[in-house]
Every structure is written in structure tokens, then in C-alpha cells.
Structure 1
């Protein structure tokens, strides 16, 4: 998981392949949103689902959001604290 803002920003470095896993502590599927902290939900993901981070952004409260997807394209934004990301 990104423990700090620095960890989240380092995910944007292309020289480190990173895989993330959904770990939503609420017990419900993780909402994937059209924009960081946006209202439009484009899909949901279950815990344990592996995804690829594409970009990190911050909302007005300085919370990090991660643009995630698969190896072909991005799907949308998830709250960064609800995914665990490790270098491959």
C-alpha cells in the first residue's frame, strides 16, 4: 500500500513495474470512478483483484487517487488507501 504521499508519487516512475491489489476494508466492492473523488462510478472491483496503476492524482483534501486498469488500458480512479501496490 502507499504509506505516504512520496510512495504514491513514486508509482508514477516508469522504471519500476508495479502491480496493485484491491484491499477495500469496507467489505464491499471497490468503486472505480471516472475522475479522482468523482461521483460517477464506472465499475466496481472485488478484494484480491490485481490491477496496474497508471497515474496518481490528489484531491482537494490531498488524498491520493490512482488511475488503474489492465495491461491494455485504464479503467478509472480508485482511492489509493484501498489498494496495495508492490514493485514487480
Structure 2
């Protein structure tokens, strides 16, 4: 969860288009809420973050796109671990 949060947080300091930035900010907040939470809450928050990330196609920043791609991979990993 910490690594996922870090990748989402990293996009905040990059030149990201407005709409993707909003989704990334919401995903960061959701993941932040899940850190240290019980497993059912983590599962719900990771699912919400996955939904938010699904709305981000391109950010306008190659570096941010890389962070988003890694965040998606981590979401998949976390969901697999919780299954």
C-alpha cells in the first residue's frame, strides 16, 4: 500500500492535465485512507482506486504516465493478494 501511495503522490508534483489530476488525487486520498486499515476496508479502497485509475488514459506527462502504470500494477498485485 505504501508503494502504491508513493506512486500516486509522485504524480501530484508533475505537470498533469486537470481531469487526470483530479482522478489521481482522489485515488491517492482513497489509498491513503486504506493504509493500516483492516483487510475489508483495504479491499474496498483498492477497488475504488482501481476504478479511479481506469479513468486516466494519459496524463500529459510521460513520467506521470509511468507512475500511473506502476500504480495499476500494484493495484492488481494487492487485489490478487487479497483474493
Query: TM (normalized to structure 2)?
Result: 0.30
Larger strand fraction of residues: 1
Higher relative helix content: 2
TM-score, normalised with respect to structure 1: 0.29
